[in-house]
Chains A and B, each alone.
Chain A
Amino acid sequence: MHVGIAGAGLMGRLLAWRLLQRGCQVSLYDDHAPAGCASAAMTAAGMLAALSEAAEGTTAMATLGAGAVVAWRQLLAELAAEGAPPVWFQGRGSLVVAHPADAADLERLRRLLTTRVAADRFHTLDAAALSELEPELAGRFDGGLYLPEEGCIDNRQLLVSLEWVIRQLGGEWHAGTSVKEAAPGQLRLADGTQYFDLAVDCRGAGAVGQCPGLRAVRGELLRIAAPELQLSRPVRLAHPRYQLYIAPRADNSYVVGATEIESAASHAVTVRSALELLSALFSLHPAFAEAEILEMNAAHRATFTDHLPRVEATPKWLRVNGLYRHGFLLAPTLLDKALAALPLPQAVPMAAVS
């Protein structure tokens, strides 16, 4: 079975890997080079925060993303077993804190977690418990919330690891090849149409205009290196107007995000957004003042009007889209749904998973 996949972002790569494992021939198409992929997955914090996202947005996130930490652990173990480059990951929970002036926003989140999610799936911490859990924050906040089920993953290392395994398994990678349209059994490229047994559309925001109800929302993030600070888990800062979080990576680097602007504009990060993100960072801990700004990036998140993802399949055609700002949280569930929707041979038995 020959599968053509449009879009080498997170879903495109995951599907390519799984389909290659099942003995399919896979051709992957993307506008950009594998490393410079402009997908939303490249500009992401990799937060696996089902509960806080369910409280802040759509309650369905609690169900759709509930198993994300466990599922990623398994997926990463499989990648490691295939010899792919390692991916930094942690499932030690996440924290939410607030400055005294924004205590009402923390309280609002606490109430929503209690009523929409479950009171027994998070802990309210006092200042002492917070310092014990995250010593860098000692003395800086009166308390916070701890959500033990949450975690985060290094988005870029994962993209690299998936690229490696796709090439290793013989996947064809057509970088710099834009797909104009994905129809059953065919992908229309700039220079002609390619035919397949199955055409998969994972173009994310690239499909806006061809997918009813899909729109792009702009998100901006910073990457910084802060050798002085050792945050061991993602920290969200409750704020009256913004969604602010700091997700750690290996080697004391951090991703700080994210703005959310109803726009498909693709200009660089604005001064205002940079100020918002940097102020949040500095207010979390003044030692961030000496951190090095590695990058500031903007990306488009594709979403439907209900902010929920869609997996749609017809004979010879599959589309996964609308992952919005929850790509890494939702990907394992959507991967399973997508594979279940396809008439595929059974998985080829793999080497024992360590």
Chain B
Amino acid sequence: MQPPADHWTLYGETLHSRLLLGTARYPSLDSLGAAVRSSGTDILTVSLRRQAQEPDGARSLWQFLRSLERRLLPNTAGCHSVKEALTLAEMARELFATDWIKLEVIGDDYNLQPDPLATVEAARTLVKRGFRVFPYCTEDLVLARSLLEAGCEVLMPWGAPIGTGRGLLNPYALATLRERLPDATLIIDAGIGLPSDATRALEMGYDGVLLNTAVALAGDPVIMAAAFAAAVTAGRAAYRAEPMPPRQTAVPSTPTVGTPFWHQHEATQSGGAT
């Protein structure tokens, strides 16, 4: 029996893949294109901070990205203040004819940690100006609530700092976020290193993952993109299948055939089977 279709929506747009990909640092544009195809992603995020001075200068890149026929999600990566992020968002809206914006306001330049206060402030203004905001944030519950109150329908908490590939560093807080905000769309953004990290995020009930470096800097980005596609599918399927709760100890559920009952009693008493 085929499982029922599992579409999801972001700001009213129906999507199939729960994997979102970044577009930076691939060995070449051809390699990026091939990785995008093998990932099956519906959404590509693109940064334009370094092209801001003369956006038309990157026309060739924009054309290439459009030719991949995915939804483009421009981001404000590289912005350090509310003002910069707002200016760049307006530029992105004009350049890509979309009101979607992945909001990044960086608070620390080395590990690219988001500035939570500036992110909330920028999100409020952007929502008022008609943007559909995807804020990159930490796993802090109170911050997440503030962003939802500001009008964001989607939140993008980090798994670990950008580019570190360390996976989900704070699973407790991420699980809390998921449990406390059951109706919000939550996408893990940043820090994913291995496909198993992505699987875990989806198993926890996260709606999707966004990653870049783990694919772009793999020895073979095309194969890694396919691995992530499979990982996300597996994680989502596992979540929908309602996994069995893990047991604390390996207690036999029925008497083991061939072992005298008094020995079975001893084994559990002495902890021999733990």
B-binding residues in A (CB < 8 A): 56-58, 108, 111-112, 115-116, 208, 215-216, 218, 240-241, 261-267, 270, 272, 305-307
User: CB within 8 A of B28: which of A58, A216, A272?
Assistant: A58
Q: How far is it, in angstroms, between the C-alpha of A106 and the C-alpha of B57 when the chains are bound?
A: 32
Q: In the bound complex, do residue A262 and residue B58 qualify as a contact, i.e. CB atoms below 8 Å apart?
A: yes
Judge whether B51 and A241 touch: CB under 8 Å.
no
In the complex, the answer to whether B60 meets A306 with C-beta atoms within 8 Å is no
Contacts of A265 in B (CB 8 A): 51, 53-54, 57-58
CB-based contact B33/A218 at 8 Å: no
Taken together as a complex, chains A and B put the C-alpha atoms of A305 and B63 apart, in Å, by: 12
B77 to chain A, nearest CB (A): 11
Kindly identify which residue among A216, A272, A305 contacts B30, using a CB–CB cutoff of 8 Å.
A305
**How far apart sit A261 and B60, CA to CA, in the bound complex (Å)?**
12
Whether, in the assembled complex, B66 has its beta carbon less than 8 Å from a beta carbon of chain A, the answer is no
Q: Which of B32-85 contact A (CB under 8 A)?
A: 33, 50-51, 53-54, 57-61, 64
- B residues near A216, Cβ cutoff 8 Å: 57, 60
Contacts A108-B217, A215-B61, A263-B57; is A307 near B27 (CB within 8 Å)?
A: yes
Interfacial residues of chain B within 1-52, with CB under 8 A of chain A in the complex: 25, 27-31, 33, 50-51
| A residues in contact with B33, CB < 8 Å | 305
Q: List residues of B whose CB falls within 8 A of some A CB.
A: 25, 27-31, 33, 50-51, 53-54, 57-61, 64, 163, 217, 219
Chain B interface, DSSP helix/strand/loop, else mixed: helix
Using known A-B contacts A208-B60, A215-B60, determine if residue A261 contacts B51 with beta carbons closer than 8 Å.
yes
- Interchain Cβ contacts under 8 Å between A and B, 13 examples: A57-B28, A58-B27, A208-B60, A215-B64, A240-B163, A262-B61, A263-B57, A264-B57, A265-B53, A305-B28, A305-B30, A307-B29, A307-B30
User: What 14 new A-B contacts, CB under 8 Å, besides A218-B57, A263-B58?
Assistant: A58-B28, A112-B219, A208-B60, A215-B60, A240-B163, A241-B25, A241-B163, A262-B50, A262-B60, A263-B50, A263-B57, A306-B29, A306-B31, A307-B28
User: Are B217 and A261 neighbours in the complex by a CB distance under 8 Å?
Assistant: no
Among B25, B27, B54, B163, which residue has its beta carbon within 8 angstroms of that of A263?
B54
> B59, A264: Cβ atoms under 8 Å?
yes
Contact B219 A263 (CB under 8 A): no
For the complex, what is the distance from the CA of A262 to the CA of B59, rounded to whole Å? Answer: 9
